Amino acid sequence: MTEKRACNRYFGAFICILLCFALVACGRSSGELFDFQPGEESDSHKSACAGYRIVVAKGSSAETLSAAQKLFRELADRTGISCSLCFEGEENGAAGKEVCEILIGYVERAVSRDRMRYFKRDDYLCEWQDGCLLLGGKSDSANLAAIRRFSEEILPYADDELLMNPDGGFLYRAEYEIPTVSVDGPELFHYRIVYPAEGNKEEKEIAFAFRDRLADMTGYYPAVEDDRTAPADALWIAFGDCAGSEEVELTGNHAVMFRNVGHIFFLGTDAYGICYAAQEFLDGIRSSAVDGVCTLTTERSLIWSYENPRLTLGVAVPGDEGDVLERTFALGGEIMEAKPDITAVFALTEQQIGIMKNILPDYNILSFVEGENCYSAILYHRERLNARQVGTPLTLDGCSVRLVVFTPEDGGDPFAVFLTGLWKEERRGEVAEALREGVSSLGLSCVVMSFTADGIESADRDMPDLTPVAELRSATENHAPVIGVYSFGDMSDADGYGKLTVLDREGAVHLLTVSLTRVPELMKKGGSRS
């Protein structure tokens, strides 16, 4: 009986060992060519280093730097060997036998560039090359994944004599919908994404957004730089008025893609047009791919016309001098003449609201109580728009946020208008947070109209997410409050933030007309800038 029990115990232990090996085998990530194995120590990689130097690729994110700092501390604690941390280009002294370098990311060293040249966005590695430890890939996400795996799988086995076996480490290759794309012969590995150094912020944002969409689909992750720093003899995918694009002049709502001096250019009459052309290029990759391989040619220029519907907004303060009836009729007359889709009016009395309902039959009026016999109002053209949602996200003493979501009658995209009065200094943070939450939850193009005591300067200080568009003062110079018109965020932000452009300003009561341009499809998803 004793012998039988002993056999059962040994057999059970053997089964447990087999199960452990099975679990280890099943836990490996797809695409890994090497996994760290403790193995036997190699005298050739026993440390004769006086220290380690962690070098982080320039342009890395704060998150990558933070992960590198954590690695720096863990490495020093584990090995007992001194460590240093620096950005690429800030190294003090040469590496060698006494200083072993750990290169994080796509560092501008031959050893890093040669090994990672054909990496895609999510590919990463950990391996010895020419006396350096290469760790990471071309993007911040790849670097973070590599650092995390190194800390979990390799660092626990390190000591003061051996950091990692020469045959250890790992290599990860991600999978993509369309893994191979060539344009006019060269594969996309050989292109750079370029924006104009003298251009506006939008063109740079478009360039980064394009890279993110390209990487999502294909994995290719070209460098993004301006046309001053990008080598002229390199292959460019360029956005906006970069060097070499001067030959094309566009009018109306047009977008174009053309090739010149070896570069591919995307141009448009506005930011929406540039995005339109870029999106057509991405759509062409997807539609042309066969079994994950796409071959494109850009021998001929392509031009597209597009609809970019504009929405006319008006904002007004009726003023506080003279006869109430006279001022109100003057305001109504200007609205009837300008025929805006929407007009926001602040500092109205109940009497003025009643008058405007009678003299503006083409408009529906939404009024909001702001104080004792003090109203704000939104007037919208009844034949062009429907008010789909009306609400008050925030009500405070002296500060309120009003929200109206509109749907165009012609079937266009819905959009949102926020009205707010920022009267009390201590309440402005709460108002700003309400606006941010409202915009994020809606995912629509948004415009903010604010009636303030000190104008755009105050909103710029207290609500930095707002992008000022225009400031209106009342017809009377000594009337202190002003109206500020803003877009919320910019084109790099989350889904659907709109852009405002001032068209004209006219009238004794300072009626201002602006256009709200729809957000291009390319920009509807936030992207990284690694």
Over residues 147-206, the pLDDT tens digits come to 999 999 999 999 888 899 888 899 999 999 999 999 999 999 999 999 999 877 789 989
Residue 265 reports pLDDT greater than 90? yes
- Residue 502: its H or E element: strand 499-506
Report pLDDT for 75: 94
pLDDT at residue 362 tops 70: yes
- DSSP code per residue over 438-471: HHHHH-SEEEEEEEESSTHHHHHHH-TTEEEEEE
For residue 244, the model assigns a pLDDT of 86
- pLDDT tens for 25-50 read 333 333 333 333 333 444 444 555 77
Distance of CA 273 to the CA centre of its chain: 19
- The pair of structure tokens assigned to 210 is 């394009």
Residue 368 has which token pair?
Answer: 């909001």
Tell me the CA distances in angstroms from 513 to 175, 315, 316, 329, one per residue in order. 49, 7, 10, 19
Decide if pLDDT at 472 tops 80.
no
How far is Cα 144 from Cα 61, in angstroms, rounded to an integer? 10
CA distance 265 to 256: 8
Question: Contact, 479 vs 464, CB < 8 A?
Answer: no
Of 192 and 469, the structure prediction assigns the larger pLDDT to: 192
Which pLDDT value is given to residue 428?
A: 73
Q: In what order do the strands lie in the sheet with 82-87?
A: 82-87, 51-56, 99-104, 132-136, 124-129, 170-172
pLDDT at residue 290 greater than cutoff 90: yes
- Lowest-confidence range among 177-191, 238-252, 276-290? 238-252
Q: Please indicate whether residue 491 or residue 360 has the higher confidence score (pLDDT).
A: 360
What pLDDT digit, counting tens, does each position of 343-357 carry? 888 878 899 999 999
Mean pLDDT of the chain: 79
pLDDT for 453 beyond 90: no
Amino acid at 347: A
Can you give the pLDDT at residue 97?
60
For residues 312-341, give the mean pLDDT: 80
The residue-averaged pLDDT of 202-224 equals 94
Q: How far, in Å, CA of 142 to CA of 124, rounded? A: 6
What domains can you pick out in the chain, each with its CATH number? 27-172 (3.30.379.10), 180-305 (3.30.379.10), 312-523 (3.60.10.10)
Asked which of 4-18, 81-95, 408-422 is least confident by mean pLDDT, the reply is: 4-18
Give percent of the chain above pLDDT 70.
Answer: 73
Higher pLDDT, 296 or 467: 296
The per-residue pLDDT for 361 is 94
pLDDT beyond 90 at 490: no
